[in-house]
Amino acid sequence: MIVEAVNRAPQRWSGRDDGPGPEHLRWHHVVGAEGTADIAFLGFRSDEGVRRNKGRPGAADGPRAIREALASMALPAPVAAADAGDVEVTDGALESGQERLGRAVTGLLDDGRFVVVFGGGHEIAYGSYLGIAESARVRSGAKLGVLNLDAHFDLRADETPSSGTPFRQMADRERQRGEGVHYAVLGISQPSNTKALFDTADELGVDYLLDDHCGPANLVVVDEFVDRFLAGCDVVYLTIDLDVLPAAVAPGVSAPAAYGVPLETIQHVCERVAASGKLALCDVAELNPGLDIDNRTARTAARLVHRIATTQRTHR
C-alpha cells in the first residue's frame, strides 16, 4: 500500500560525521531500514494548493530542505527512523495526491510508526487527516484531535480545494459521517482572517488562541489551551504551518507573519503535545526554500521536528 502511494523513492541521508559510537549520533546515521524504525518520515511535494490560494509557489521543494537541515542535527540518544519517500503532486492533481498521501500515512500508522510528514503547502493537512482518520486506531473508536499551529484558520468554503480549505474539508467530511471534528488553532492572526472566518470557526466549535496571547509571558494561558485540547481526544494529529512564526524566524513561507508567535512558545507547545503520549502524526507545512534566508526557516522546521520526535519517543 505504501509503495503504491509513494512515487518518489527516498534519497540517501548524509551530513557531518564526527566519528563512530552513540556519542556522535546525528539523524543521518539513524535513518535506515523501514522494518526496524519507530519513526517514519514522509514527504509531500506539493504547492498546487498554494497556487490555487493565490500564494507564492515553491513549497514543493520543502521536503528536501527539511531533510537536509535535519540530517546533521545531533541526537541525545539512539533512535530508529526510516524515510518512506515522497508523494508528489504533478499536473495540478492535488486531490489524488492528498488521497495517496492519506493511504501512505494510514499504512505507516497501522505498522506502529510515529509519522512525520514534510510539506509542501498546507494542503498537506487534508491528506494527513485522511491518513489518520482511516487508521485502525481511529476507526476502532479513538477520538481524534487536530491541533493546528497557524496564523490562519484555513476554513474557507470553496468548491476548489486549496491550502486555505483543508480544515473546512475535514469538518465537512466528519459531518457527513455524523461526527464533529475536534479542531483547535494556536497563533491566529486577527488581521489575516476575515470576520466570516471567525464566524465559521465559532459555528464549528473551533477553539483558538490569538497570536497576541501566545508570548512567553502568557505560557499559563497557552498551557491551559493545550491541556484543554488534549483532554478532549485520545489521539493527536499536530500540524505546523511555519507562517505562525515571526517573519524574522521564518522568512521562507508564502505569507510571512508581521507579528507571529515566538519560537520559544511554538517549541514549548510541540514538546507538551509530544510528551502527552497521544501524538501519532505530525506534519510541517509551507516551507518555501526559494524564499528562505540563510536556511533560517528550514533549520527552524528541522529543530521543531527534532524536538517533537525525540520527546515523543521518550513518552510513547
Q: Is 234 a known ligand-binding residue?
A: no
C-alpha cell at 117: 510528514
Say if residues 98 and 128 touch (Cβ distance below 8 Å): no
> pLDDT (tens digit, 9 = 90+) per residue, 14-55?
999 999 888 999 999 999 866 779 999 999 999 999 999 999
Backbone angles phi, psi at 274, to 5 degrees: -65, -35
Whole-number Å distance between alpha carbons of 108 and 246: 33
DSSP H helical segments within 177-262, as ranges? 195-203, 219-231
User: If we measure between CA atoms, which residue out of 251, 241, 296 comes closest to residue 120?
Assistant: 241
Q: Is 152 a known ligand-binding residue?
A: yes
How confident is the model at residue 8, as a pLDDT?
67
Q: Is 29 a known ligand-binding residue?
A: no
User: If we measure between CA atoms, which residue out of 168, 109, 149 comes closest to residue 301?
Assistant: 149
> pLDDT (tens digit, 9 = 90+) per residue, 133-169?
999 999 999 999 999 999 999 999 999 999 999 999 9
Whole-number Å distance between alpha carbons of 80 and 316: 14
Q: Is 243 a known ligand-binding residue?
A: yes
Whole-number Å distance between alpha carbons of 237 and 308: 12
Whole-number Å distance between alpha carbons of 226 and 299: 25
Cα-Cα end-to-end distance for the chain: 25
Q: Which CATH number is 81's domain given?
A: 3.40.800.10
Q: Is 91 a known ligand-binding residue?
A: no
Q: What is the DSSP letter of 75?
A: P
Could you give the angle at the alpha carbon of 208 between the alpha carbons of 202 and 214, nearest 5°? 155
CA R_g for the chain: 18
C-alpha cell at 259: 507579528
Sign (positive/negative) of CA torsion 157, 158, 163, 168?
A: positive
Long-range contacts of 254-259 (CB under 8 A, 24+ apart): 254/50, 254/55, 254/56, 254/57, 254/58, 254/59, 254/121, 254/163, 254/286, 254/288, 254/291, 255/55, 255/151, 255/152, 255/192, 255/286, 257/151, 257/189, 257/211, 258/189, 258/191, 259/189, 259/211, 259/212
Domain extent, residue 209, equals 2-314
Asked if the peptide bond before residue 120 counts as cis, ω within 30 degrees of 0, the response is: yes
Q: Is 241 a known ligand-binding residue?
A: yes
How confident is the model at residue 316, as a pLDDT?
73
All residue ranges of the chain with pLDDT < 70 are 1-4, 8-9, 33-34
Number of domains in the chain: 1
